Structures are given as C-alpha cells and as structure tokens.
Amino acid sequence: AQTVTQSQPEMSVQEAETVTLSCTYDTSESNYYLFWYKQPPSRQMILVIRQEAYKQQNATENRFSVNFQKAAKSFSLKISDSQLGDTAMYFCAFMKNSGYALNFGKGTSLLVTP
C-alpha cells in the first residue's frame, strides 16, 4: 500500500517570502505520478503541479516548483514570492492503482500574512 506523509500540519509565511512544504511517500512501484493540490477556503481542489517519477527534472509552474528526490521518496513544494491568495490547504498526492485513485496526505495549512 502507498502512504503519503505531510509532516507539517500548519505553516505561515510572509508575503513575498519563500516557503517549502514537505511530503514523503512510500511505494514499491517504480513508475508513478505525484501531485500537489491546493484547496482554498472556497473548498475547490486545484492542481498546482505534478511530477512524473521517471523524469529526473523537477517540475516548475511559475512560482511553484518541486524538489523530487526519488531515492529518498521525497516530494517537497516550494512557493516563491508568496501571495495572499496562496493561503490554502495543500495536499500532496500519489497516483496509485494504475491511475484509478489518488492517495492523499493529510495536508498542510498554509497562511500567507501581509
């Protein structure tokens, strides 16, 4: 079974600063996909970024980037130039069962302060 662990229940960062959210996972599979989803107070689940395990290059999407360490089974999210609109729950997720279910971590609540 795959497990996803987010060890930081809550984090806070000032506007314009950089913050890193941690995620580790456990799997015996060699090829898989990892995702970060954002859930703002509106409740909508929004895909932030994703990483294919067979790609060594870390994914980036504008201010969002990941540090993917396959051997260490680590997948952290870095948010640069934090904005007030980044305040949300962030979920790390692992795609298991050949694409038929996302396995989520417990989430990190991020607060961006002025």
Using CB under 8 A as the criterion, which residues of the chain lie in contact with other proteins when the complex forms? 31-33, 35, 39, 42-45, 47, 50, 52, 89, 91, 95-104, 106-107
* Cβ closest to other proteins, residue 9 vs residue 114: 9
Q: How far is the CB of 77 from other proteins (least distance, A)?
A: 16
Q: Phi and psi for 85 in degrees, rounded to 5?
A: -70, -5
Pick between residue 82 and residue 107 the one whose CB is nearest to other proteins: 107
* Secondary structure of residue 114 in the 3-state scheme: coil
